[in-house]
Amino acid sequence: MSTPMRVLVVGSGGVGDAVARTAAGRTFFELMVMADHDPARAERSVAAARGLSATSALADRFVAARVDASDAGAVTALAREHGITHVLNAVDPRFVMPVFDGAFAAGADYLDMAMSLSRPHPTEPYARPGVKLGDEQFAAADRWAGAGRLALVGMGVEPGLSDVFAQYASDHLFSEIDELGTRDGSNLVVLGEDGEPMFAPSFSIWTTIEECLNPPVVWEAARAEEGGSTEAGWYTVPPFHEPEVFEFPGGIGPVECVHVEHEEVLLMPRFLDARKVTFKYGLGEEFIAVLRTLHTVGLDRTDPVTVRGTTPDGTPTTVRVSPRDVVAACLPDPATLGDRMRGATCAGVLVTGTGTDGGRREVYLHHVVDNAWSMERYGAQCVVWQTAVNPLVALELLADGRWSGSGVLGPEAFDAVPFLELLAAPAPEGYGSPWGLEERTP
């Protein structure tokens, strides 16, 4: 008999809050602890989940707690206190390793939606990778496997659902794959108080800066074969490299996309056969201009700088603060933008190669979420909800045994079919969020 699932969600920001709201309608777990460094945020998520629960018994499954995500020991202690079986990491990727290590020490399984941070190559950042996304986690794979524990990494939307799509295409649609190309875009706008569009990222600006200004990574099988290992296939290019206009479905239309550092490129080659793996993100001219400016003036930096100021009584003082944290503090919380957002977001993978019938084939597997729909159903804006739903689907499959494994694994290591069926099936059996498959001309 399997142990009832008890989940610790570390982080009650936009994605963590959407996890709680969506989990309110599911019955596969017996406890969900919402934890945050700010107890008020955790309490708000619990209140929202309880309000969406159909019965008092389902509502009582949600409890709030405080945790310091930078302290592995604190994560371990909280997990042990509540008899946690699975830790879901919903905080910025800078906290991946403390939460990852804390979950292992607690004897819990682990899931995240972004992987351990990269560090550019010290002398050739736009040609060779240094420390890659996820390297620190994959270095611990034998330890997790030896303990019989699972760390399911990159299980959000991108990475996550995109990797599930790639696995599905490899298993069911193609005999040979030339390229797995993740393409993400939207037509979202955020309206200010005057009703006019304003600059306000719909996802964590800290994470967005990290992804978009680090050297993007590409993987090619030819390089791997020449170098004699999968590792030799990865290389880097300059930020915003090779812009292309990609036509997104769901009424979104054409969006200019550019290379961005992302986990799919580090995950897919480990598990799937393809000649090339890429990730391109539809940023838009305004967003790219803002990111370039932040980089030019050093506001993308994470190392603290000394800032002069005064205390409330006028006493001169100084404080050490990260410029990127200042940028994040000056922008609105993405979780609060839902009522002012209009449009839809699309995540997907363009797969090209040889179909199972031997002919050339090009397919875009995708998932579109309209903001009006996610706000009406869950009170969560579409970008954070689309990220949050996928680890919940994975947890449900782990709870009932349709997915199982040990070690450090990506979504590609599991059967895609039950995942896609559960995601698309109407509620209450499934999550009521269909995905699409669009044939394109090779």
- 64, 45 in Cβ contact below 8 A? yes
- Of 179, 185, 208, 181, the C-alpha closest to 331 is 208
Which CATH code fits 5-156+383-433? 3.40.50.720
Is the pLDDT assigned to residue 8 strictly greater than 90? yes
Domain map (residue ranges) of the chain = 5-156+383-433, 161-374
* Rounded average pLDDT over 297-321: 84
Predicted confidence at residue 250, as pLDDT, reads: 94
Under the banding of pLDDT at 50, 70 and 90, the label for residue 203 is: low
3-state SS, 410-435, equals: CHHHCCHHHHHHHHHCCCCCCCCCCC
- 421, 409 in Cβ contact below 8 A? no
Which CATH code fits 161-374? 3.30.360.10
- 235, 129 in Cβ contact below 8 A? yes
Kindly write down the DSSP assignment for every residue of 255-298, as one continuous string.
EEEEE---HHHHHHHHHS--SEEEEEE---HHHHHHHHHHHHTT
First-to-final CA distance of the chain: 49
DSSP H or E segment with residue 205: helix 205-213
Is the pLDDT assigned to residue 200 strictly greater than 70? no
Predicted confidence at residue 1, as pLDDT, reads: 44
- Note the Cα 58 to chain centre separation in Å: 27
Residue 378 token pair: 């869950």
Please give the C-alpha separations between residue 435 and each of 186, 284, 289, in angstroms, as whole numbers: 16, 24, 32
Q: Which amino acid is at 348?
A: G
Predicted confidence at residue 383, as pLDDT, reads: 93
pLDDT one-digit tens code per residue, 53-93: 999 999 999 999 999 999 999 999 999 999 999 999 999 99
pLDDT one-digit tens code per residue, 260-273: 999 999 999 999 99
Please give the C-alpha separations between residue 199 and each of 25, 204, 340, in angstroms, as whole numbers: 34, 13, 12
Q: Is 427 exposed, middle or buried (0-12, 13-18, 19+ CB in 10 A)?
A: exposed
* Rounded average pLDDT over 294-301: 83
pLDDT one-digit tens code per residue, 155-172: 999 999 999 999 999 999
